[in-house]
């Protein structure tokens, strides 16, 4: 009994020590490259200033999205077959390499293909439209084919490691920034980050759900599927926010069994359930128009209204509809 009391007291003392060294601990964590989660709203707004947009290739479509596919976010495009999801994915492989607004100088792309529909020749055609060198364009796209949902996850682990390595300079800058704020040195923070052309700035998965759908097709497997999906999406979120990456994923649609009871005009919905719905910052629904025309609609966005834009699928990738 006595011994146990001693133990309890000792543990409590240890606990108090921990509390007292809280700020030292933060310092220690930072030295090891681990940041505490808190920022002031001002610091966060400074971080948000690094957000850039990658053009879809269509001005109308870009306008709908407030400039294009946003970094520090996950953008999901879903639609039925032939609505242009893969064509948009290809176009982004080229436009992400072009200079953009807000000091963006272009970057490399990681492309995870789950349906074996990636075609380097399409990149050549799209590169021609933007007058950029074929070889340079192809060199800047890191391609991987995923065969199972587990493989897809492993590839993302590799990607996370790659970002850690490639974005070293970016991380260092962010850490200096954090150090200043933790030490409470009240210098105005002129936090500026120049994009290095060698860095990975875009991550594409075409399509995010295809393999999950196959691997967890049984009725009783839905819960497990959603759990694995949540894990993967949290990794994607971390990549996008920590390394200022524009994450773009495509998704399929399925018949909504609940919709037959209601009077919904379009009884189909994107798959992935609430997990994907919440993880995606911006959701775009794509549908067919006449000929090569397609219509994009904002389905869910934190800051853009539910508008529509018409674009075209051309030999040079996604473009504007001709008048």
Written in H, E and C, the secondary structure of the chain is CHHHHHHHHHHHHHHHHHHHCHHHHHHHHHHCCCCCCCCCHHHHHHHHCCCCEECCCCHHHHHHCCCCEECCEEEEEEECCCCCHHHHHHHHHHHCCCCCCCCCCCCEEEEEECCCCCCHHHHHHHHHHCCCCHHHHHHCEEEEECCCHHHHHHHHHHHHHHHHHHCHHHHHHHHHHHHHHHCCCCCCCCCCCCCCCCCEEEEEEECCCHHHHHHCCCHHHHHHHHHHHHHHHHHHHHHHHHCCCEEEEEECEEECHHHHHCCCCCCEEECCHHHHHHHCCEEEEEEECCCCEEEEEEEECCCCCCCEEEEEEECCEEEECCC
Regarding 85 and contact with ligand ATP (CB under 6 A), the answer is yes
Q: What's the number of CA atoms in the CB half-sphere (13 Å) around residue 111?
A: 27
Regarding 84 and contact with ligand ATP (CB under 6 A), the answer is yes
Write the interaction track for Mg ion spanning residues 108-137; mark x where CB under 5 A is met and - where it is not: ---------x--------------------
Nearer to ligand ATP, 128 or 166 (CB): 128
- Distance of alpha carbon 253 from alpha carbon 270, whole angstroms: 4
- Distance of alpha carbon 275 from alpha carbon 216, whole angstroms: 15
Regarding 86 and contact with Mg ion (CB under 5 A), the answer is yes
Regarding 56 and contact with ligand ATP (CB under 6 A), the answer is no
Nearer to ligand ATP, 49 or 82 (CB): 82
Choice from 87, 97, 280, 281 touching ligand ATP (CB under 6 A): 87
- Distance of alpha carbon 137 from alpha carbon 121, whole angstroms: 11
Nearer to ligand ATP, 295 or 313 (CB): 313
Nearer to ligand ATP, 84 or 107 (CB): 84
Regarding 89 and contact with Mg ion (CB under 5 A), the answer is no
Write the interaction track for ligand ATP spanning residues 242-281; mark x where CB under 6 A is met and - where it is not: ----------------------------------------
Regarding 201 and contact with ligand ATP (CB under 6 A), the answer is no
Nearer to Mg ion, 137 or 204 (CB): 204
Q: Name which of Mg ion, ligand ATP, none residue 79 binds, using a CB cut-off of 5 to 8 Å depending on partner kind.
A: ligand ATP
Distances (CA, A) of 144 to 164, 190, 264: 18, 38, 38
Q: How far is the CB of 103 from Mg ion (least distance, A)?
A: 32
Stretch that binds ligand ATP, among 48-56, 183-191, 212-220, 307-315 (CB under 6 A): 307-315
Nearer to Mg ion, 86 or 97 (CB): 86
Choice from 86, 152, 240, 281 touching ligand ATP (CB under 6 A): 86
Nearer to ligand ATP, 64 or 210 (CB): 210
Regarding 214 and contact with ligand ATP (CB under 6 A), the answer is no
Regarding 83 and contact with ligand ATP (CB under 6 A), the answer is yes
Nearer to ligand ATP, 85 or 269 (CB): 85
Residues that bind ligand ATP (CB under 6 A): 79, 81-87, 313-315
Residues that bind Mg ion (CB under 5 A): 85-86, 117
């Amino acid at each position: 009994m006595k011994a146990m009391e001693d133990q309890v007291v000792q543990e409590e003392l240890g606990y108090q020590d921990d509390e007292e060294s809280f700020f030292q601990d933060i310092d220690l964590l930072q030295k090891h490259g681990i940041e505490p989660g808190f920022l002031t709203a001002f610091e966060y707004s400074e971080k948000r200033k690094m957000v850039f947009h990658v053009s879809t290739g269509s001005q109308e479509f870009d306008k709908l999205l407030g400039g294009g596919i946003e970094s520090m976010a996950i953008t999901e495009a879903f639609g039925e077959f032939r609505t242009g999801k893969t064509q948009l994915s290809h176009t982004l492989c080229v436009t992400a390499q072009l200079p953009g607004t807000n000091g963006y100088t272009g970057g490399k792309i990681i492309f995870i293909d789950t349906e074996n529909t990636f075609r380097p020749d399409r990149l050549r055609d799209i590169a021609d439209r933007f007058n950029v060198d074929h070889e340079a364009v192809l060199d800047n796209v890191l391609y991987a084919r995923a065969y199972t949902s587990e493989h897809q996850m492993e590839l993302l682990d590799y990607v996370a490691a790659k970002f850690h390595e490639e974005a070293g300079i970016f991380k260092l800058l962010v850490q200096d920034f954090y150090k200043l704020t933790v030490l409470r040195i009240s210098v105005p923070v002129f936090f500026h980050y120049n994009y290095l052309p060698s860095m990975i700035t875009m991550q594409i998965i075409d399509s995010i759900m295809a393999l999950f759908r196959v691997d967890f097709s049984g009725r009783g497997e839905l819960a497990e599927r959603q759990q694995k999906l949540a894990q993967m999406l949290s990794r994607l979120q971390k990549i996008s926010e920590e390394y200022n990456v524009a994450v773009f994923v495509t998704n399929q649609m399925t018949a909504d069994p609940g919709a037959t009871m209601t009077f919904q005009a379009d009884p189909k919905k994107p798959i992935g359930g609430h997990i994907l719905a919440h993880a995606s910052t911006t959701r775009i629904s794509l549908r067919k128009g006449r000929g090569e025309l397609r219509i994009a609609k904002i389905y869910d966005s934190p800051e853009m209204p539910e508008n529509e834009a018409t674009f075209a699928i051309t030999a040079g990738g996604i473009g504007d509809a001709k008048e």
